[in-house]
Each structure stands twice: as structure tokens, then as C-alpha cells.
Amino acid sequence: MSASDSTPTPTPGGTEVPVAGPEDGANPTAPHVGEPAQPPATAAAPPPVVSVQNVSITYRTTFEAAPTLKNTIVRLGRGERKVKVVDAVKNMSFDIKPGTSVGIIGANGAGKSTLMRAIAGVLPPSQGRIEVRGRISALLALGVGFNPNLTGRENVILGGLAAGLTRAEVKERADEVADFAEIGDFMDMPMRTYSSGMYQRLAFSVSVHMDPDILLVDEALSAGDASFKVKATAKMAELMESARAMFLVSHSLGSIREMCNEVLWIHKGELIMQGSPRRAIRAYTNFLKVGENAYTFEDL
């Protein structure tokens, strides 16, 4: 089923936005560049801070179906490899307005992290176009971007320079990052000696101290201890005041309800609903209760 088959009916007076359908003439050009795909609807409307247009992302993975020594040698001899193709994101389109805190929900394997990686610019879409206006800071997975042999401070400095901050800004920022992370002397120890909680504290602290216009957070709060979670939640709420947008991927619907003012529900790579947290979470939890076979997305 495509998103266009399942266009939800907006409720009267609600804030829901129907899922955008595919457009003619999809533009398979590089992401993160270029001018807006479409002019804003009215002169007064600000352009979307993130615009995802007809985006599909396909993974191609080589694998061994029946790994016996004989099969492997035969295949290697012939140069054959089995390829598994996963359509992780299918023809997805949506716009995010400035000031929006977006929750992304959906079952395991729905495509949430893949979409986040594409918005972060780490993973180019196979088709379609993603436009991002502003500096992105992404907290995608533990440790992405950190070199385990460097100290926390060295990693922070390198990360800051890579994010486009000046040397002076980075030095000042490194102290703020260290204070927030509360990892004490470990700041000057190689990161391979960190516990996963310390790693996470530093990763979170780095992403929120880089003055992001757009903050991407993928399940980042799940591994922290209770006190850091409270602090991290408060920091994200504070950032929302200044950031242009935030994306939060989480299986914790409570966090999504608390932190977000818009929700994308994704299922098997398709955008099922873009709407208010109340409505999207209700539809998703109903779906989880009754299961896929008993559910018609057309009813949304």
C-alpha cells in the first residue's frame, strides 16, 4: 500500500495534515542542496525547515542463503553473490514547518532510523529529494562519529570543528559539553575506556551544545540513567525554544507525547500518518492492539 492509497481524512478543526501523495516528475537529484522544490503557498508562509519529497531508500545487502562450504566455494568460483533488497523507505513525502518538534513512531524495522540518517545527510536517498534549511546536529546512534582512541575532549573538539565552529568557539564549548555530561576526569581519557552510559552522556551533550537549528535524536534517551534522562529531557525542551525543529525517534510513546507537537507514523517504510501526537498515537496504539490483518489504514 502506498501513502497515497491511505490518505487519512483530517478531522474537522484538527491540526492533522494528510499524508502527501507522490507527485509527477519526481526529481532524483542529490539531497541537502538546491532551492525549494516548490514555492511557499503564500508569501507569508515560512518555507519548511525540512522537506522530504518522494524519497525512497533501498538497501542492497549481499548474503549467504545456505552457507555450506561447498556452496560458498562454488559461488566464489563463479563470482556469484545473493543480494537481498530492502525497501526501507518508500516514496515518502512530507514538509516540516519551523518550530515543530516531530516524533517518529512505528514498529521495529519500519524505517525510522533510516529516515533519520537520510535527513542527517549520512545516507543519500535512492530516489527523491530532501531539503534541509539550517545546521543539523544528529544524535543517531551511540558513538557515531567518535574515535575510541581519542579522549572525550579531543573528540568534542574535532566534532565541533567538523560542525563548522571556530577554534575559540570549540574550546569554550568543550568545557560546557564536559560540564553537562558530568563524566569528570574521563573527559581526558580515551573513549574506549567509557561505559556505554558515559558514551551516551557525552554524545548527547555534544549534539545539544553545537547550536543546532535542527536536532535529530534517535532513541538517545533510552540508555541513560534516570537522573541524566531528566536532565536530557529538560535540555531538549530548552533547545526547542531556540531550535528550528527537532526530530525524536522513540518507542516510548510517553516521551513522544511529552516532547512533540507533531507525529509521523511509519509502517514498513511508508508514511501512514502525519498529525497531532494525540491522534497519531491513538491510531498507532489501536493498530498495535488489533494487528495488521484486522486494520484498514483507509479508516484513519
Ligand X SMILES: Nc1ncnc2c1ncn2[C@@H]1O[C@H](COP(=O)(O)OP(=O)(O)OP(=O)(O)O)[C@@H](O)[C@H]1O
Shortest reach from residue 269's CB to ligand X, in Å:
7
Quote the Cα angle for 257-259-260, to 5°: 70
Query: Using an 8 Å Cβ cutoff, are 262 and 102 in contact?
Result: yes
Q: Which is nearer to ligand X, 214 or 249 (CB)?
A: 249
Query: Using an 8 Å Cβ cutoff, are 124 and 73 in contact?
Result: no
Shortest reach from residue 107's CB to ligand X, in Å:
7
Shortest reach from residue 123's CB to ligand X, in Å:
9
Q: Which is nearer to ligand X, 112 or 244 (CB)?
A: 112
Shortest reach from residue 106's CB to ligand X, in Å:
5
Quote the Cα angle for 54-102-124, to 5°: 40
Phi, psi torsion values for 75, nearest 5 degrees: -70, -45
Instruction: Give the residue from 190, 192, 214, 187 showing the smallest Cα distance to 202.
Output: 187
Interacting residues toward ligand X by CB under 6 A:
59, 61, 86, 88, 106, 108-114
Question: Cα-Cα-Cα-Cα dihedral of 96, 210, 105, 200, to 10°?
Answer: 180
Shortest reach from residue 9's CB to ligand X, in Å:
26
Q: What gap in Å lies between CA 210 and CA 212, rounded to an integer?
A: 6
Interhelix angle for 167-181 vs 152-162, to 10°?
130
Q: Which is nearer to ligand X, 62 or 293 (CB)?
A: 62
Q: Which is nearer to ligand X, 160 or 269 (CB)?
A: 269
Shortest reach from residue 249's CB to ligand X, in Å:
7
Q: Which is nearer to ligand X, 152 or 224 (CB)?
A: 224
Q: What gap in Å lies between CA 63 and CA 81, rounded to an integer?
A: 7
Q: Which is nearer to ligand X, 180 or 247 (CB)?
A: 247
